[in-house]
Structure 1
Amino acid sequence: MQIASSDIDAIRQVVNQVLEMHAREEGGQRSQARAEILIHSMQVFAQRGLQRTTVQHLLDASDVSRRTFYKYFRNKMDVLESIYRIFVDNMLLHFHKEVKQASSAHDIIRNTTKVYFDYHVSMGPVIKLMMEEARSSNSALAPHRIRAQTLASEVLADQINRYTGNNYEPLVFLTMLWMLENYSLYIFEDGGFSPERLDQCLRVAVGVAESLVLGEVTPGMLERPAP
């Protein structure tokens, strides 16, 4: 799958923004060479998968020397982990923003669910590769997945409690996030993106969350659409 130039520009903006944030937190400077390796490696991983991708493929895609590559990364897995961390952190930034701007528990559920799916769709097929890898307990990606889900579930528990007065277990929201994770894999099933599946998953996920957390469902969310 080729990534369109407009999508590359959007990816570059996200990568540069998050790397700038990481540099501030770590007291360092953002490297544009490192950013370009990450940006162009996404398409390689999406096209070839993890096993069939080599460091040379990443060098060719990003047009950097082997010396430059090893200045920033240990191996191809280090690149994939860095990509995953960047987009997890970007999702969490938008997640927190939507929660703070929400004016009701309904808003929190709808807006954060949309952020979750927007994040996965923006990543394209490479997200399926990373999600499957992150679910392996011995993967370098696994701690980032756990961190993101833990932070998101705690924020949801606190903020929805603020509107409903119900002191939900964070595990309730972890369960919802696990559901969303499986929906995201379903959207990219069969190797391609399906807008119809996205619409279906977004609608049903919101309906299930409303039913579970609020005890009520917006009409039409869980019913099969009329043919």
Structure 2
Amino acid sequence: MTSRERILDGAARAFGRLGYARTRVEDVLNAADVSRPTFYKEFSSADDVFETLARLHFRELSKRLVDALESTGDPSGKLFAIVDAYFRWRSELGPLGRVLDVEARQPRSALARIRRPVTERLVEAFREQIVALGRPAPDPLLLGALISAAEHLGDTLPSDRAPTAREMTRRRIAMLRLAAGVLMPLEPERKRRRR
């Protein structure tokens, strides 16, 4: 394992245990068992290593969702695959993932800048898939709301143990129902005739 990998591994444990605001470089040094000069050869600060962990975290999410999109040609299968991949990823996050997720949703956080392009790519990927099915492109605001709903449902997964099959199924069903409602085109209102 390289020094950089040891630092990232130690930082993941330190941030997962202490949270973002309470983790200092000293905590990372102790968890990684590296010297201060070794740390500073690789990273400029605790924030720098935290942002690196966040980039890796969101890169993994993007990869899983793209793989899910490409896993089947069936439109409803794609939706199920994406929802399933997202909740599986969330259930595997562990303490660091939860800290990263919470911090990334803070509007003024440095991690929000990292999360935003991932969210924008997801919205665009969803729009492209829907248009490819011959349906009208949905409002990006609605797709963003779906992503927020998925994040909220992911937040309700247990953090102290692996979720049960029932807990995962409930979240998948809830998300699929929300998605079906958002993706179903609204019928134009019929004008009532005056008699």
Q: Which runs of 5+ in 2 are unaligned?
A: 186-195
Q: Which runs of 5+ in 1 are unaligned?
A: 1-30, 216-227
Find the aligned partners of 2:58 and 2:109 in 1 and give their Cα distance.
16
Task: Give the greater-gyration-radius structure (CA).
Answer: 2
The 5 Å alignment of 1:165-176 reads 165-176=135-146
Asked if residue 186 in structure 1 is aligned to residue 190 in structure 2, the reply is no
User: 1:126 corresponds to which residue?
Assistant: 96
CA RMSD of the aligned region, Å? 2.0
For residues 146-203 of structure 1, give each alpha carbon's deviation from its aligned partner in whole angstroms, at most 9, with x where no partner exists.
1111001100110122124222222222111011111122214xx5346144332222
Find the aligned partners of 1:194 and 1:96 in 2 and give their Cα distance.
24
Deviation at 1:207, TM superposition (A): 2.3
Paired residue type of 2:125: V
Query: Which contiguous aligned blocks of 4+ residues in structure 1 show a shift greater than 6 angstroms?
Result: none
User: 1:74 corresponds to which residue?
Assistant: 44
User: 2:190 corresponds to which residue?
Assistant: none
For the residue of structure 1 that corresponds to 2:110, the secondary structure is: coil
The 5 Å alignment of 1:57-206 reads 57-188=27-158, 192-193=160-161, 195-196=163-164, 197-206=167-176
Query: TM-score, structure 2 length as denominator?
Result: 0.84
- Structure with the bigger RCO (C-alpha within 8 Å, sep 6+) is 2
Query: How much identity, in percent, do the aligned residues show?
Result: 23
Find the aligned partners of 1:193 and 1:212 in 2 and give their Cα distance.
32
Find the aligned partners of 1:116 and 1:129 in 2 and give their Cα distance.
17
Number of equivalences: 183
For the residue of structure 1 that corresponds to 2:92, the secondary structure is: helix
| Further displaced range: 63-72 or 158-167 | 158-167
Query: TM-score, structure 1 length as denominator?
Result: 0.73
